[in-house]
Amino acid sequence: MLINFSKMHGLGNDFMVVDNVTQNVFLSRDQIKRLADRNFGVGFDQLLFVEPPYSPEIDFHYRIFNADGNEVEQCGNGARCFARFVRMKGLTNKHKVSVSTKGGNITLFTEKDGQVTVNMGHPQFDPQHIPMKAGKRENTYIFRLPEQTVFLSSVSMGNPHAVLIVDDVENAPVHELGPTLELHERFPARANVGFMQVINAEHIRLRVWERGAGETLACGTGACAAAVVGMLQGKLESTVRVDLPGGSLQIRWQGEGHPVKMTGPAEHVYDGQVAV
Ligand SMILES: N[C@@H](CCC[C@H](N)C(=O)O)C(=O)O
């Protein structure tokens, strides 16, 4: 079978995007892993499917698979690429697109300058919802690991995130603590793990160890998670610039009861065809 796809990225978080409105593609976990491989396949952090809507008030359904082949609930950088893809491919001419995902509904706005703003919905802090094993909701949780004790915050942006505050993001133990916390038994669905350095109340630096993909150049939901954690703790204002290794995002949040808004770029790299 031949699949038509686009290679896209949001700040270097890269995607294979498949139009499943005009195609009928089904891939097994092994096929996705093979396609994600940077030596043997197309190479990507996530595979995105653009699918027909399930209900009249929605324009499209959006499915996301990590490079390890597992389907997940949400992807922020992918959402911006989704908005660009559906307009580029003539699937819609709307500037405002409503999309359902496993992690909830989101709205994508294409701005005049080509950037995309995503209404990412409401962050969830209830441990059961994240999901995370904890007696009750806390601002900071203590994780006693065999060799050290770690303090982290946790939030769902549709998908599960842990956020650690560090002094120096460049030297943060992303590749040591990232996989340990991703697979920690207190995160039954595993977790994305962000390392945030607060530069000032309107500016953070962030690296993210992504569940099912390892460290990526940027993580949109991770940027939202870090920003809301910093805002809840009174360290950040309601608009913050998040510098990731691949570039910057703007995150806005008015506090609990309000949705998180993310603005940033979405780039098309090439169109391709691959046999599976
Ligand atoms: N890169 C994404 C997040 C993709 C999914 C994540 N790895 C998960 O497993 O939840 C983003 O930009 O948000």
Domain ranges of the chain: 2-120+265-275, 141-258
Which pLDDT belongs to residue 187?
98
From ligand 1's centre to the CA of 167, what distance in Å?
24
Which pLDDT belongs to residue 127?
98
CA 268 vs. chain centroid, Å, equals 18
Q: Is 114 annotated as a binding residue?
A: no
Catalytic residues: 75, 219
Query: So what's the architecture of 141-258 in CATH?
Result: Roll (3.10)
Alpha carbon nearest to ligand 1 atom 10, residue: 159
Is the complex ipTM more than 0.95? Answer: yes
Query: What is the residue-wise DSSP string for 61-92?
Result: EEEEEETTS-EES--HHHHHHHHHHHHHTTS-
Per CATH, domain 2-120+265-275 is 2.60.120.200:
no
**Same fold yes or no, 2-120+265-275 and 141-258:** yes
Q: Phi then psi for 80, rounded to 5 degrees?
A: -70, -40
CA 135 vs. chain centroid, Å, equals 27
Determine the atom of ligand 1 nearest the C-alpha atom of 190. 9
Query: Tokens for 87?
Result: 């307009």
From ligand 1's centre to the CA of 219, what distance in Å?
6
From ligand 1's centre to the CA of 213, what distance in Å?
8
Residues near 276 by beta carbon (within 8 Å), at least 6 away in sequence: 1, 3, 27, 31, 35
Listed residue (273, 262, 218) closest to 14, CA to CA: 218
Which pLDDT belongs to residue 44?
98
Which residue numbers in the chain have pLDDT < 50?
Answer: none
Indicate the top mutation candidate among 17, 66, 71 to test ligand 1's pocket, ranked by most ligand atoms within 8 A of CB: 66
Alpha carbon nearest to ligand 1 atom 5, residue: 75
| pTM of model > 0.90 | yes
Q: Which stretches within 11-133 are classed as H helix?
A: 29-36, 76-88
Q: Exposed, middle or buried: residue 200 (CB in 10 Å: 0-12, 13-18, 19+)? A: exposed
